[in-house]
Amino acid sequence: MAEVVEQIRNVCALGALQSVVAIPRAIPIIHAGPGCGQKLWSGLSNGNGFQGASYVGGHTVPCTNATEKEVVFGGEGKLRETIANTLKVMDGDLYVVLTGCTSDIVGDDVGEVVRSFKANGAPIVFAETGGFKGDNYFGHELLWQAIIDQFLEPTQVEQGLVNVWTVLPYQDPYWAGTLQAIGSLLRSIGLTPNLIYGPGEGVASIRRIPAAQFNLLLSPWVGLKTVKRLEEKFSTPFLHYPVLPIGATETGSFLRAVGAYAGVPATTVETTIQREEERYYYYIERSADLLFETRFLPGHFVIIADSFYALGLTRFLINDLGLIPEVQFVTEKVPEEYLPLVEAEFARFDAALVSPVHYGADGRTVRTELEKRTFRERPLILGSSWDRVIARELKGYPLSVAMPVSDRLILSRTFVGYEGALRLTEDIYSVILSSFQ
The predicted-structure confidence for 59-83, as pLDDT tens digits, reads as follows: 899 999 887 777 766 789 999 999 9
Residue 35's Cβ-count burial label (10 Å; 0-12, 13-18, 19+) is exposed
Please give the full DSSP string across 123-154, using - where no structure is assigned.
-EEEE---GGG-BHHHHHHHHHHHHHHHT---
Q: Over the range 240-260, which residues count as b (16 or more CB within 10 Å of their CB) and which as e?
A: bbbbbbbbbbbbbbbbbbbbe
- pLDDT of 54 reads 81
Question: What confidence score (pLDDT) does residue 318 get?
Answer: 94
Instruction: Name the 3-class secondary structure at 76.
Output: helix
Residues of the chain scoring pLDDT < 70: 1-3, 72-73, 294-296
Q: Write down the architecture of domain 13-150 according to CATH.
A: 3-Layer(aba) Sandwich (3.40)
Q: What is the pLDDT of residue 296?
A: 66
Residue 353, pLDDT score? 83
Strands (E), 252-356: 300-305, 324-330
Please tell me the class of the 158-281 domain. Answer: alpha beta
Task: Give the pLDDT of residue 295.
Answer: 64
Of 339, 311, 342, 340, the C-alpha closest to 325 is 311
pLDDT digits (tens, 9 = 90+) for 309-340: 999 999 999 999 999 999 999 999 999 999 99
Task: Give the model's pLDDT for residue 72.
Answer: 63
Cα 275 from Cα 278, distance rounded (Å)? 5
For domain 287-434, give the fold.
Rossmann fold (3.40.50)
Q: How far apart are the first and last CA of the chain?
A: 48
Closest Cα partner for 425 from 291, 241, 249? Answer: 291
Distance separating alpha carbons of residues 53 and 58, to the nearest angstrom? 5
What is the three-class DSSP state of 400? strand
CA angle 171, 21, 14 (to 5 degrees): 60
Query: Looking at residue 360, what is its pLDDT?
Result: 87
Domain boundaries, the chain: 13-150, 158-281, 287-434
Q: Which of 176, 107, 140, 104 lies closest to 28, judged by CA? A: 140
Of the candidates 223, 237, 232, 264, the one whose C-alpha atom is nearest the C-alpha of residue 157 is 237
Is there a shared CATH topology between the 13-150 domain and the 158-281 domain?
yes
How far is Cα 288 from Cα 19, in angstroms, rounded to an integer? 40
